[in-house]
Amino acid sequence: EAQVTQNPRYLITVTGKKLTVTCSQNMNHEYMSWYRQDPGLGLRQIYYSMNVEVTDKGDVPEGYKVSRKEKRNFPLILESPSPNQTSLYFCASTRDRGPGELFFGEGSRLTVL
Amino acid sequence: KNQVEQSPQSLIILEGKNCTLQCNYTVSPFSNLRWYKQDTGRGPVSLTIMTFSENTKSNGRYTATLDADTKQSSLHITASQLSDSASYICVVISFGGGSYIPTFGRGTSLIVHP
């Protein structure tokens, strides 16, 4: 089954404790991206990657890091989480050519205390 | 700057009624427009895709329209069901300089009451 898998789905952590949210897709997609979703603000892009070893900042990259060492994986790293990073995070992927349907993961709800 | 505006922000209707959601965009260059449905706490799922040359496309009880001249799209839901309660997000895709660029609306929250 074609899917985008995120882990963990839920996480409560404390300020300053490094964490990684993993994202994996099994559709051989070139393009992967991370979004955060906050009430009233919709989906905002954090980082995206057009292919292996190619990453770029989205609209709200501050406080986040990403890496793309393999085509299927695109982890989101919070080196020193702060309470304003409490949010619902989505990973998505697509072929970077053609109609460009974004396939989203199920989301990771992060709470930083 | 590319922008996608959706209206209304929220909508409450009775089961069985029809409704129409609006999306206005200023995105260039335009590739296609998609409507996504997002159930609470879940990831968005694509409902329809509209390319520049398409005016209308249906997916069951969902019908999307596109007016590329006025840069407006609508999503019409017929005979609403309780399971239609969700957020509906308009996303406009642009391909520019070899990059795939999605621009998201903030969504319309639809609640269908029995």
pLDDT tens per residue, range B28-52: 888 889 999 999 989 999 998 888 8
How distant is the Cα of B13 from the closest Cα of chain A, in angstroms? 21
Average pLDDT of chain B is 93
* Number of residues that this document lists for chain B: 114
Residue B58's pLDDT is 93
Q: Residue A110: which H helix or E strand, with range?
A: strand A108-112
Average pLDDT over residues B91-97: 82
Name every chain B residue with its beta carbon within 8 A of the beta carbon of A109: 41
**Per-residue pLDDT at A98:** 55
Residue by residue, what is the 3-state secondary structure of A25-54?
Answer: ECCCCCEEEEEEEECCCEEEEEEEEEECCE
Give average pLDDT by consecutive 10-residue segment, chain A, 113 residues.
93 96 95 93 92 92 97 97 97 76 94 96
A100: closest chain B residue by CA: B93
Q: Which of A91, A78, A105 is nearest to A32 (CA)?
A: A91
CB within 8 Å: B107 and A42: yes
Q: Contact at 8 Å (CB) between A54 and A34?
A: no
Distance, CA of B87 to CA of A42 (rounded, Å)? 10
* Pair B37, B45: CB distance under 8 Å: yes
Binned at pLDDT 50, 70 and 90, residue B99 comes out as: confident
